[in-house]
Structure 1
Amino acid sequence: MDLLLILTYAGLCIAIFKIFRIPLTKWTVPTAVLGGIFIVGVLIVLMNYNHPYTTNARQIYTSVPIMPLVRGKVIEVPVEVNQPIQAGEILFKLDPTPFQAIVEQRQAELASAQQLVPQLMAQWASAKANTTAAIAERDRNLKSYQRYAEGRKKGGANSPFTELEVENRQQAYLAAEAKLQAAQANETIAKLAYDSQINGVNTNVARIQGQLDSALFDLEQTVVHAPSDGFVTQVALRKGMVAVPMPLRPVMTFIPKEQSMFVGAFWENSIKRLKAGDQAEFIVTALPGVVFKGTVRQVMPSIAEGEFQANGNLSGAAVFFKHSRSLVIIDPEPRFDEYQLPMGISGQVAIYTEHFHHLSVMRKVLLRMQGWINYIFPFH
């Protein structure tokens, strides 16, 4: 662009010198040259500062690591690689046999626990009946003891009741009282066992129901589904392999279908001019001569080179004082997705701010020239 500006200015100067018959002297020629250097320099500086450009741009996307939540042997991988799939479609299946066996075991335990609930109620009713009988027995022995004791007291030496008989009746009453306390304790135990509930369900039944739900969940996880619309790529999973739920060892990579997004890395001297909503244009190496439009979504508020985390290591100058740029997220126009390019392609981006907007024409010309150069070879 600078060469184009110089040639244009040189042509204007020659025309002015010819038309107005200005003599070529030691004053006119240096004035024209220095004036050209100043004008071209100012235009380039204003353009670079207010309408920045970067060759460090790339389409970015998110990949989702797919891993099973249970361990098992792979029995089927029906998904087609690099083909669009809908959310919920099957990616792969694990052998469900051991998980089905656990489910059936938990179902049997649940049925047994549910049958114990009426038994607990019957035991409580039996304990209450035993308590009632113990009360009656206690009362009968109490009256008998009181009658013997009163007769002995009134009759004195002539009483028909001996001291031994009174003592026997007393011991019988105390034994009945002890049986009543034991019956009441058994009733309390039976009542607590029957009333042991959570959310209206017997605690033993609820515990086994939870184990059954967990077993059913594990059984369900033997079939792994697509989390959203998208596709899987570079699938190496095969029938007979053992899939293990390890976060660091996913068995498949899923690419969700999302809005395209470009990220450009810009010099920090221009980022204060940039803001969300600014218009942008970008080119990609895969499509020489094609210019796409876009809109700035966000200027990232942080730069990775200045980050550090709490750990046991000290950070030196080499960590913080590396070359860095500010990242800018750009939403491309819908036309970009129509080309169905490989995700993650590289490109170059120019952003046009509201400052000195008339100079954006220079940047647009430069960007299109760069796109034409891509016909011959990629130039970065």
Structure 2
Amino acid sequence: MTIALLILAAYAIFMWLVFYRFRWLKFNIAWGVVSFWVGFHVLFLLIVFLRFFTPYTIDGHVIRQTIQIAPRLPHPTVLEEVFVAQNQKVKKGDKLYQFEKTLYRAQLAEAQANLVSAQQNAKILEEDVDQAQDSLDEARANETYAQQQVDRYTDLVPKGGAKQETLDQWTSKLISAKAQVAEAEADLKKAQLAVEAQIGGVNAQVAAAQAQVDQAQYYVDQTTIYAPEDGVIISQQARPGLVVGGFRVGAIAAFVADADPYFLATFYQEHLKFVEPDMPVEVALDIYPGQIFKGKVKAIWEGTGQGQIVPHGRVPEFLFMSPQGRFAVEIDLSDDPALKRYPAGAHGAAAIYTGGGGDWVAVLRRVNLRLYTWVNFIVPFDV
């Protein structure tokens, strides 16, 4: 709009100079129609060239990645200490919050005791295998001896060298010995199966106990929250005495990361016809009146909420002549050394230079953007 008004003003001054100041031509109805027709087309062509070859928007904001600081504790737990102040810069690994540890340390100690017990039981299972093997060897020896005695008395009884009663006794003992062998084999098999119950070469009970130790240690570690990366916590509201855990599912603070900020500007969809990644961009931030920052197009977010239909039980409604959704363009300004402060949410204008239409189009857009940034010295007018 600003550049259009400037063009109209320049054309009006030109007409005034031609027809009234220097009187190079005499103004009449015919020249009036021609002047209007030429002016209209010049303005129309300039606006078209500017819209498509140097897309411009005043709807841009600095975006910074945020991390929701949410305690991961299963039981209601009291916040004991807060190590970060309002808007204080922190480095990755700095302590932020300390929660009460008593319950989680007790759970860890219990889990560690269960692990020791499971490890001892695993050793006992190995001893059970050796004992079952010894019992099987003894049962087989008894079976062999009983079989020898049965064979011996089977030969003696027909010859009168032994009583039938003795043979019957040894036959009964042989049957009992075979039963003992079968029982010992079953006991050995059970002991071996118990030892072979493993996960990744570790006894299953030991693995389960170790998992409980790891879980308990995890919750002990979660009682202390550290900075996930360099950044700042904005609006620090957590205070000692705050109870978290249990049914709490929300975050207690928002952590704004220092790394990878970018400027996100929205454009009408048709204005992005010739825009491609890596094209040069100029940005005017409201917090820096009178300054222009250099950047480049990183990506075009070709999609809006209007292109998504969420599954539900109602028939979609399509409103006639509803406003079109704009497409966002991600702009990288990280290479500009003049940019010192880059706060999240900072507003500004942006112009993309596609290189089409000639240098004069880019010049007009540069003038437009610089007018915007200089006007920021006085707008808004509250003092």
TM-score > 0.5, shorter chain as reference: yes
Match of residue 66 from structure 1: 69
The AA in structure 2 aligned to 1:67 is A
Counterpart secondary structure, 2:260: coil
Q: Report the CA distance between 1:77 and its aligned residue.
A: 1.0
- Aligned equivalents of 2:58 and 2:253: distance in 1? 32
Contact 1:67 1:252 in 2 (8 A): yes
What per-residue deviation string (whole Å, max 9, x for no partner) do you get for residues 182-238 of structure 1?
122222222332333333322222221111111111111111111111111112111
Contact 1:68 1:245 in 2 (8 A): no
Match of residue 44 from structure 1: 47
- Aligned equivalents of 2:5 and 2:98: distance in 1? 63
Match of residue 24 from structure 1: 26
- In the superposition, the TM-score normalised over structure 2's length comes to 0.88
> Given the superposition, is the C-alpha separation of residues 119 and 140 from structure 1 closer, same or farther in structure 2, using an over 3 Å criterion?
same
Which segment drifts farther, 192-201 or 2-11? 2-11
Q: Report the CA distance between 1:172 and its aligned residue.
A: 1.4
- Aligned equivalents of 2:281 and 2:125: distance in 1? 75
The AA in structure 2 aligned to 1:128 is Q
Match of residue 376 from structure 2: 374
Match of residue 94 from structure 1: 99
Contact 1:232 1:253 in 2 (8 A): yes
Contact 2:295 2:336 in 1 (8 A): no
Match of residue 280 from structure 2: 279
The AA in structure 2 aligned to 1:345 is A
Q: Report the CA distance between 1:112 and its aligned residue.
A: 2.1
Is residue 2:220 matched to residue 1:258? no
The AA in structure 1 aligned to 2:123 is P
Could you tell me the percent identity over the aligned residues? 27
| Aligned with 2:363 (options 361, 364, 369) | 361
- Aligned equivalents of 2:18 and 2:319: distance in 1? 56
Match of residue 202 from structure 1: 203
The AA in structure 2 aligned to 1:132 is D
Contact 2:65 2:260 in 1 (8 A): no
Q: Report the CA distance between 1:33 and its aligned residue.
A: 4.8
Counterpart secondary structure, 2:58: strand
* Contiguous gaps of at least 5 residues in structure 2: none
Contact 2:64 2:258 in 1 (8 A): no
Contact 2:19 2:25 in 1 (8 A): yes
What per-residue deviation string (whole Å, max 9, x for no partner) do you get for residues 241-265 of structure 1?
1112768511111111123311211
Match of residue 168 from structure 2: 167
- Aligned equivalents of 1:300 and 1:37: distance in 2? 34
The AA in structure 2 aligned to 1:369 is L
- Aligned equivalents of 1:310 and 1:254: distance in 2? 33
Is residue 2:84 matched to residue 1:57? no
| Aligned with 1:78 (options 73, 83, 104) | 83
Counterpart secondary structure, 1:281: strand
> Given the superposition, is the C-alpha separation of residues 50 and 338 from structure 1 closer, same or farther in structure 2, using an over 3 Å criterion?
closer
The AA in structure 2 aligned to 1:231 is V
Contact 2:62 2:342 in 1 (8 A): no
Contact 2:18 2:25 in 1 (8 A): no
Contact 2:69 2:253 in 1 (8 A): yes
RMSD: 2.7
- Aligned equivalents of 1:336 and 1:107: distance in 2? 54
What per-residue deviation string (whole Å, max 9, x for no partner) do you get for residues 29-48 of structure 1?
65445433433332233222
Report how many aligned residue pairs link the two structures.
375
Q: Report the CA distance between 1:364 and its aligned residue.
A: 1.1
- Aligned equivalents of 1:320 and 1:227: distance in 2? 46
Q: Report the CA distance between 1:89 and its aligned residue.
A: 1.1
Which segment drifts farther, 10-19 or 213-222? 10-19
- Aligned equivalents of 2:321 and 2:170: distance in 1? 97
The AA in structure 1 aligned to 2:202 is V
- In the superposition, the TM-score normalised over structure 1's length comes to 0.89
Counterpart secondary structure, 2:89: coil
Q: Report the CA distance between 1:6 and its aligned residue.
A: 4.0
Q: Report the CA distance between 1:370 and its aligned residue.
A: 1.9
Q: How does 1:104-253 map to 2 (within 5 A)?
A: 104-153=109-158, 155=159, 159-244=160-245, 248-253=249-254
- Aligned equivalents of 2:102 and 2:128: distance in 1? 39
What per-residue deviation string (whole Å, max 9, x for no partner) do you get for residues 267-301 of structure 1?
12211121112222122222222222221111112
The AA in structure 2 aligned to 1:356 is G
Contact 2:54 2:354 in 1 (8 A): yes
The AA in structure 2 aligned to 1:363 is R
Q: Report the CA distance between 1:22 and its aligned residue.
A: 4.1
The AA in structure 2 aligned to 1:48 is R
Q: Report the CA distance between 1:117 and its aligned residue.
A: 3.2
- Aligned equivalents of 1:175 and 1:319: distance in 2? 94
Counterpart secondary structure, 2:273: helix
Q: How does 1:322-337 map to 2 (within 5 A)?
A: 322-332=323-333, 334-335=335-336
The AA in structure 2 aligned to 1:197 is Q
Which segment drifts farther, 285-294 or 92-101? 285-294
Contact 1:293 1:333 in 2 (8 A): no
The AA in structure 2 aligned to 1:372 is W
What per-residue deviation string (whole Å, max 9, x for no partner) do you get for residues 120-171 of structure 1?
2332222222211211111111111111112223x2xxx1433333222211
Counterpart secondary structure, 1:239: coil
